[in-house]
Every structure is written in structure tokens, then in C-alpha cells.
């Protein structure tokens, strides 16, 4: 049933893109804020995976920190992950055992905002129109991201005109994975100067 929703979304996108093409010039990819922090909810369909994180994002130099919010009573593992794309390193700390390992990254940097090569899909409002202050305008974009043999399709929504990420949908045809990342309580800028510094327990690696 996941496949159906994907196809439905594509059909909807095609129709809405055509409407956009008829009614005027298509917006080009907007520039999202380069540095921000937020809470994110990550859902991976198929893997039955859902998790909340605190996320710190630096799009200008390709740095990310994702700290899982541990669920009360859960016995599974949660991770605090620092990914430095500019150094091709991922620091992964098991929050239970405090053990850290460092690995190379085999994926391209994910723009949490709109990738530069994206195409505009459509614009709409979230909330209620006609009520003062109760709606925001959102634009959506699609892009194909490739990195060596890695390929992923992106579909994302950002606020307009500020281009702040609202949610991102990723589809990987070869791995048959679909995931959605939604952002909440986002603030522009990085409040914690240590957010992108490798944690001390990773130093020996
Ligand atoms: C690093 O740790 C993660 C989480 O424990 C594990 O899945 C992965 O296999 C480890 N990688 C290496 C290279 O040890
Ligand atoms: C991405 O690739 C898919 C499959 O090849 C194609 O259908 C789609 O139009 C492409 N999207 C963009 C934005 O280039």
C-alpha cells in the first residue's frame, strides 16, 4: 500500500505541476537558512522505524548532529550521531553504553532545505485561509540526488518566502526505502557551540 501512496503522490505532483506551468513562471529553488536547530520526527516505512531527535544543521559546511530522544521504558538502542560530511566522518555514540565508533559516510549530504538542482512542484497553504495569522504558504520541490551508485528522490516542503523546511520525503528505488522527516520548533542559528565538536569518548578512534 506504500507503493500506491507513492504513485498517487506522483500523479498529484504531475497534475499540480501542469497547473503551475499553465498559470505562470515556476519558482526556482529558494535558499533555506544555512544553520538552524529543531526537533525532527523521522519515520522509515517498511523498517517500522519512528524516532524523535534534536537536530542541529549546518548546510554551509555539511555538518549535522542528531540526538535521539529516548522513549521512557524503551529497551532498544538510541544514538547520538554527529556527521561531518566535509571530513567524511560519522561519529556514532550508543546512548546506553556510551560507546562511540567512527565510520566513513557512503551517502551524499542531505540538504534539509531545497537542493540547488530541485524543481518546483506546487504551492499551497497550511492551516485556515481567511483567519488572520492562521495559515502559512508552503512551496514544494522535487529533486534527484545521486552520489556514485547511490540514488535518492527528494520531495520537500518549505515555508514561503523564508524557505524554512517543513518536511522532507525521501525515496530510494534500489533500497526500496521511503522515509519522512518532519520539523518542529525550528529556530534559525546554532545555540550550542559544541554541537559539531566530536564528543570526547570518540577521541581514541
Ligand atoms: C558502529 O556502531 C553501530 C551502532 O552500534 C553499528 O551498527 C555499526 O556496525 C558500528 N560500526 C562499526 C564499523 O563498528
Ligand atoms: C527523478 O527521477 C525520476 C525517475 O528517473 C523521474 O521520474 C523524475 O522526473 C526525476 N525528477 C526530477 C526532479 O528530476
Nearest to 58 by CA among 195, 156, 200: 195
**Domain residue ranges in the chain:** 35-202
Q: Is the pLDDT of residue 5 over 60?
A: no
Give the list of residues 6+ apart from residue 135 with CB closer than 8 angstroms, or none.
Answer: 125, 126, 127, 128, 129
Q: Is the pLDDT of residue 3 over 80?
A: no
Task: Give the ligand whose atoms come closest to the C-alpha of residue 81.
Answer: 1
Q: 142-165, pLDDT tens digit by residue?
A: 999 988 888 999 999 999 999 999
What is the grid cell recorded at 11? Answer: 500523479
DSSP state of 197: S
Q: 10-51, pLDDT tens digit by residue?
A: 555 545 544 444 456 788 999 999 999 999 999 999 888 899
Q: How far, in Å, from the CA of 191 to the mean position of ligand 1?
A: 29
Q: How far, in Å, from the CA of 79 to the mean position of ligand 1?
A: 11
Whether 9 and 3 have beta carbons less than 8 Å apart is answered as no
Which residue minimizes the CA distance to atom 10 of ligand 2? 144
The overall average pLDDT reported for the chain is 88
Which residue minimizes the CA distance to atom 13 of ligand 2? 143
CATH 2.50.20.10 correct for 35-202: yes
What pTM, to 2 d.p., does this model score? Answer: 0.82
Q: What SS3 class is residue 114?
A: coil
Amino acid at each position: 500500500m506504500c507503493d500506491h501512496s507513492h504513485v498517487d503522490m506522483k500523479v498529484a505532483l504531475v497534475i499540480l505541476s501542469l497547473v503551475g506551468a499553465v498559470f505562470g513562471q515556476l519558482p526556482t529553488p529558494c535558499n533555506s537558512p544555512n544553520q538552524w536547530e529543531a526537533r525532527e520526527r523521522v519515520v522509515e516505512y517498511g523498517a517500522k522505524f519512528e524516532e524523535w531527535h534534536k537536530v542541529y544543521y549546518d548546510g554551509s559546511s555539511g555538518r549535522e548532529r542528531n540526538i535521539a530522544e529516548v522513549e521512557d521504558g524503551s529497551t532498544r538502542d538510541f544514538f547520538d550521531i554527529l556527521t561531518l560530511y566535509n571530513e567524511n566522518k560519522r561519529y556514532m555514540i550508543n546512548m546506553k553504553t556510551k560507546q562511540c565508533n567512527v565510520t566513513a559516510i557512503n551517502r551524499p549530504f542531505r540538504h534539509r532545505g531545497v537542493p540547488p538542482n530541485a524543481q518546483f512542484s506546487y504551492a499551497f497553504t497550511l492551516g485556515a485561509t481567511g483567519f488572520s495569522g492562521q495559515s502559512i504558504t508552503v512551496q514544494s520541490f522535487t529533486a534527484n540526488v545521486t552520489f556514485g551508485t547511490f540514488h535518492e528522490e527528494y520531495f520537500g516542503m518549505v515555508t514561503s518566502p523564508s524557505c524554512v523546511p517543513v518536511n522532507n520525503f525521501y525515496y530510494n528505488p534500489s533500497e526500496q526505502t521511503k522515509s519522512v522527516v518532519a520539523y518542529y520548533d525550528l529556530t534559525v542559528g546554532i545555540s550550542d557551540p559544541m554541537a559539531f565538536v566530536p564528543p570526547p569518548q570518540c577521541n581514541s578512534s
